[in-house]
Amino acid sequence: MKFSFIKSRDSRSNLLVREISYIAKMDVWKSIKIKRTFRQIRMEKIFRSSLVLVALSILVLVIAFLFTLIVQSMPSIKALGFSFLFGKTWDPVANVYGTYPFLLGTLFTSFLALIISIPFSFSIAIFLGEYYPRGWFSEFLKNSIELIAAVPSVIYGFWGLFVLVPIVRSMELKLGVTPYGIGIFTSSLILAIMIIPYAASLGREMIRMVPSSLKEAAYSLGATRYEVIKTVILPYSKSGLFAGILLSLGRALGETMAVTMVIGNTSIIPKSIFDPGNTMASVIANEFTEAASTLYLSSLIELGLILFLVTVLINLIGKKIIKRFTTD
Amino acid sequence: MKLKSKIKSALFVAFVLAIVGSITPGCNGGSSNNSSSDSTATNSDDKTLLGAGSTFVYPLFSKQFSEYNKQTGLKINYQSIGSGGGILQLTNKTVDFGDSDAPLNDEQAQKIGVPVLHIPMCSGAVVISYNLPEVKDTLNLSPEVLADIFLGKITRWNDAKIAAINKGIQLPATAIVIAHRSDGSGTTNIFTDYLSKVNDEWKSKVGKGTAVNWPIGLGGKGNEGVAGLIKQTPGGIGYIELAYAIQNKMAFAKVQNKAGNFIAPSIASTSAASNVQLPADSKIFLGNTDAAEGYPISGFTWALIYQEQAYNKRSEQKAQNLVKLLWWNIHEGQQYCEGLHYAPLSPAAVAVAEAILKSATFNGKPVFNGKPVLQ
């Protein structure tokens, strides 16, 4: 049985011919042929239905999430209605709940983080995808970037609190704003670092997938490396790059622990990016354990529902944009 | 076309399953009492007690329970999931006792529906910690100044109101940065209850609760979060538990009590705060105590048990074990308080707690007559 697929470096068709002739030579094959066909069909069916089942269970899970959130937040939806979405005060004592400051904080920190992270993640993607696609240095760099994604977020929180906050504070002193150190800007910085690997890894794969024939054609026309990147590689891989951005945005929207530790957790509406604020995820994490009244608890769950919907909405918009990019 | 209809039917099935799946656990508030309680009744024998609640009391409980276990062999499993969670678990009858840093509120009491006994376990103080590297002496704070600071009316440390009660201390012109708890907490409850008692504006504008709408300031998660903010920010001020402040050697202020004395927070002055005329059900916030030597910002933590212990097919033995354990907690168990920086119950509080424990019944008959638990 020295039939080896690995050794053969012939073209695929050649391999296939050899394989078929090998199977045809076996006598056993004839005797079990009919039986095997039945079994095969049954196996196929079982395999297929198990795939469907697993896929379906994910669907069930998502819909169940949504449904649970809606059912549990019914008391607050009934009691507060739309004022929940646009109310500016969050006062558990008076049972007045308005999520506007947190909605603002979530969107603000996430998009600011995205803006900060894009130059870095794109540079890394281009560097690893185009300049150094192979070699130990490239592997090392790639692994360390992926490691960034593997670090638990509470560690980012601590690092932010003890290293980043004093730096930001001294910067704020020079700028002449109130030197809190913590706040929306600091959270965005932390978030930016946390989300870089997502866009960078995906971008790198996309850039490596650009056909070399295209690049070589551009070079042969006399384009410089920068021109090739600008006119061939980036346009070709833009949908992938955008998908990476979307992935990192999703991560930024839901990030809880690291943000909670450096954002300042105040329900006052922030007036500048150096002010403290709060995000929906950190409010839930902070207040869930001691939420005593039904309306309070249900408001926190409704906050989760809104976070869920915001994430879905942003994903849908992103998908639409990707579609438009790729059909152009 | 065929594929489309298949997808449609799959979606429909998914939707139906999802609804069924989410409705059943969705309303476990009242309906699942029976199923969950039955499982506890069968799972746990008479030699084990389950408790859940306050995180504040957890270090003390784990010490007390391990000592009690050594002496009697009774196993006590306490989960520190927060006061609100403890009350919820007691309501669902999945634990034998809860522990809360605040008495049941009206809504919670209504949900439980039957009388619940509140037995004070120990008391804790909330201290006002600050970060003023220039100031070496201990600051004095009066209730008015404290409320004005947390309302955002006093914004600099060299404000005339602060200087008036701190004669001889050179105060810097640093801006005041307020740190408060961002997570719902019994510590916040004790502190805001105190401010509501001493300041009408605070009472009407902010009020008291485990989480409030802070007019100003930064939120930190947990004692360590607030302490971190204070330590890092020059001019910072915030409130933390006494035990945490002592363990981390943080500077804290003397606070003027009702009798007019400036009292430094300590275990003795916290115990003294509860040595006053207490109501028979012990449900009182100790803030702004009448005791002349008492530190004014403190509060009890209460163990919560059903007054009628015969529920859920529990054995009388189990009920006795529970009441005896709590009896031991308020007597012999108190010796472990000070080592962990909790304030032991004052004589007045122990007397009230004894009377409350004696009122626990099993099928209408008293569970425990008040004899010493261990010989």
Of the two residues A88 and A14, the one the predictor is more confident about is: A88
Query: What residues are paired with B122 via a beta bridge?
Result: B301
Both A271 and A141 in one domain: the answer is yes
- Minimal Cα distance from B16: which residue of A? A60
What would the CATH number be for the domain defined by B24-123+299-366? 3.40.190.10
Question: Containing H/E element for B298?
Answer: strand B298-306
Whether residues A278 and A184 fall in one domain: yes
Task: Let me know if residue A60 belongs to a domain.
Answer: no
* Mean pLDDT confidence for B292-298: 93
Average pLDDT over residues B122-127: 93
pLDDT, tens digit (0-9, with 9 covering 90-100), for B346-360: 999 999 999 999 999
Lowest mean pLDDT among A184-188, A224-228, B12-16: B12-16
Q: Which of A57, A58, A177, A290 to mutate to test the interface with B (most CBs of B within 10 A)?
A: A290
The mean pLDDT of A103-107, rounded to a whole number, is 93
Distance from CA of A325 to the nearest CA of B (A): 27
Residue among B18, B19, B185 minimizing CB distance to A290: B185
What is the extent of the structural domain holding A18? 1-34
Contacts A291 to B, Cβ<8 Å? 84, 184, 211
Q: Where are the domains of chain B?
A: 24-123+299-366, 125-298
Q: Are residues A122 and A266 in the same domain?
A: yes
No. of helices (H) and no. of strands (E), chain B: 14, 13
In-domain check, residue A209: yes
Indicate the residue of B26, B208, B232 with minimum beta-carbon distance to A71. Answer: B26
CB B83 within 8 A of CB B99: yes
CB contact under 8 A, A261 and B214: no
For an interface test with A, the pick among B177, B221, B237, B304 (most A C-beta atoms closer than 10 Å) comes out as B221
Give residue A323's pLDDT. 83
- Number of independent structural domains in chain A: 2
B24-123+299-366 matches B125-298 in fold: yes
Q: What is the CATH number of the domain that holds A252?
A: 1.10.3720.10
Same-domain check for residues A6 and A132 = no
Instruction: Verify whether the Cβ–Cβ distance A286 to B219 is below 8 Å.
Output: yes
Structural contact between residues A308 and A66, judged by C-beta atoms closer than 8 angstroms: yes
**Which residues of chain B neighbour A182 with C-beta distances below 8 Å?**
218, 229
Q: Do residue B107 and residue A293 have CB atoms under 8 angstroms apart? A: yes
Q: What is the pLDDT of residues A228-247, one digit of tens each?
A: 999 999 988 888 888 899 88
Q: Which helix (H) or strand (E) holds A90?
A: strand A90-91
SS3 of residue B239 by DSSP: strand
Residue A41: inside a domain: no
Q: How far is B303 from chain A (nearest CA, A)?
A: 17
How far apart, in whole angstroms, are the C-alpha atoms of residue B18 and residue B12? 10
Q: State pLDDT tens for residues B208-258.
A: 988 899 999 999 988 888 998 899 888 999 999 998 999 888 999 999 999
| pLDDT over threshold 60, residue B79 | yes
CB contact under 8 Å between A60 and B14, yes or no, is: yes
Q: Best mutation site among A259, A265, A284 for testing chain B: the one with the most B CBs within 10 Å?
A: A265
Q: Are residues A299 and A200 in the same domain?
A: yes
Closest CA to A267 of B211, B137, B75: B211
Does residue A314 sit within a domain?
Answer: yes
Q: Is residue A74 a part of any domain in this protein?
A: yes
Q: Place B81 in a pLDDT band, splitting at 50, 70 and 90.
A: confident
DSSP SS3 for B279 = coil
Cβ-Cβ contacts under 8 Å, B212 against chain A: 91-93
The answer to whether residues A216 and A125 belong to one domain is yes
ipTM of the complex: 0.74
A-B CB pairs within 8 A amount to: 133
Q: Are residues A169 and A246 in the same domain?
A: yes
Q: Taking a C-beta distance cutoff of 8 angstroms, is the pair B153, B264 a contact? A: no
Q: H/E element holding A93? A: none
Chain B partners of A90 at a C-beta cutoff of 8 Å?
A: 213
Q: Which of A92, A264, A286 minimises the CB distance to B212?
A: A92
The domain over range B125-298 is classified in CATH as 3.40.640.10: no
Under the banding of pLDDT at 50, 70 and 90, the label for residue A328 is low
CA distance B363 to chain A (A): 30
Q: Do B213 and A92 touch (CB under 8 A)?
A: yes
- Which amino acid makes up residue B185? S
- Nearest CB partner across the interface for B209, out of A56, A93, A166: A93
Q: Return the residue of A nearest to B193 by Cα.
A: A93
Which residues of B fall within a CB distance of 8 Å from A66?
18
Q: Which chain A residues in 202-261 lie under 8 Å from chain B, judged by CB atoms? A: 260-261
DSSP 3-state of B315 = coil
Q: Which of A27-31, A180-184, B285-289 has the lowest mean pLDDT?
A: A27-31
